[in-house]
Amino acid sequence: MILLDENTKCLVQGITGKQGSFHTEQMLKYNTCIKAGVTPGKGGQDFLGVPIFNSIEEAVGESDINSSIIFVPAKFAKDAAFESIRHLDLVVIISEHIPVHDSIEIMEYANQMGTTVIGPNTPGIISPGVGKLGIMPTHIFAEGNVGVISRSGTLTYEIASELTRAGIGQSTCVGIGGDPVIGTNYIDILKRFEEDKDTEAVVLIGEIGGNAEENAAEFIKEEMTKPVVSYIAGRSAPPGKRMGHAGAIIQGNTGTVASKTEALNSAGVEVAKMPSEIVKLLKEI
């Protein structure tokens, strides 16, 4: 497993909000190690036995926290992220609609501080059997040795469910986020899976727009020894029509299903035409 293991001790920023409280309860039910929550002005209270602090600095001073998950509105997300990055090793930003210029500043600061950021606009991370820092439904995941990386939360769920039903468990599933500016990309996660003793194969779930999958293909060709299979969403997208994610922008001859498929095939990666074909491709490895 990668990123989230038995040593991950997390705090929740925005723990008392509607989304924060709901998903904190779900994370606790999955035995995730949530040691604190942060909501300014509500320090001294608790949520389901989790102590609430006014700031991350206070929370870190009280316990050995090393990661955070952020459920705060977009307009406050930059400040929340900066506070986490200043003190912690891993920051998962669930929040959507963060302005691009805020995301650029967040990632620049994370690079300076050496902090790993997942997101924004991500379903998070799950290491089945260990815990989750995110919003994914846990019942569709199972422990195993296949790593999953995706830009899309919904496709992560669909393919993880297919894998589980076929008896193929997952080591870790990571949603890197669908925004144009994100903290951790495909290559960053591929590197971790390549080094991870619990991961034997990888599923890379992509979509039209940008060149992240083409870049990943180059890395796979040059650096990966573990097998990778893929699915690229957007095969039937009409030319010129704007699709869901902000990152789904096609420029010239890059960003299309065809260009991504060609790049991945050249790196020895089989690309499924439908999500349901992923199981078959994995079994043929």
Q: Which residues contact 126 (CB under 8 A, 6 or more apart)?
A: 4, 132, 133, 134, 136, 138, 141, 170, 172, 173
d(CA 124, CA 163): 19
DSSP string of 78-105, one letter each residue: HHHHHHHHHH-SEEEE------HHHHHH
For residue 23, indicate whether it is catalytic. Answer: no
Catalytic hit among 97, 101, 139, 245: 245
Residues catalogued as catalytic: 245
